[in-house]
Amino acid sequence: MKLNTTLFTLPQRISQRLLQPGRGPRLPMLLTLAGASILALTSGGNLWAAGDPAAGRVAWTAQHARTDGSPARSCASCHTANLTQAGQHAKTGKVIEPLAPSVNPERLTDPQKVDKWLFRNCRWTLGRACTAAETADFLAYIRSQ
């Protein structure tokens, strides 16, 4: 994801997400996107270079306790620890295609899909939006697979 695709579409993506009818304030997502843009700027326009794959790998398997008594979750709960393998959603049972671009070249090619799924999955797994640094680390880890 180069600077020109990230920053030049950022205002449009922010306004689309913030102005969705019936959805509450989207400030956490706005801050995540703004932080990712700053990381892209400070890393020479390459968002992937801003993240740390090793930190992303550690965060990928980190367990996050649930307040409702359900089992703790991690990214690996659904996507597995091996990103070259298919996963399965912990709640719905839906098959999730491998995330590793080495076996699934379609992954990480559409910035809108990446934004959408990171936003949803961070909230579902961590109970909050991912920070810009977490997002960059996750993307660097996934891309390294």
What confidence tens digit (pLDDT) does each residue in 63-121 have? 999 888 889 999 999 999 999 999 998 889 999 999 999 999 998 889 899 889 999 99
Burial class (CB in 10 A: 0-12, 13-18, 19+), 73: buried
**Could you tell me the domains of the chain?**
3-144 (1.10.760.10)
- Please give the Cα distance from 46 to 14 (Å, whole number): 20
Q: Which of 94, 93, 95, 91 is nearest to 68 (CA)?
A: 91
- Please give the Cα distance from 68 to 88 (Å, whole number): 21
Q: Which amino acid is at 136?
A: A
What confidence tens digit (pLDDT) does each residue in 37-66 have? 554 544 445 554 578 999 999 999 999 998
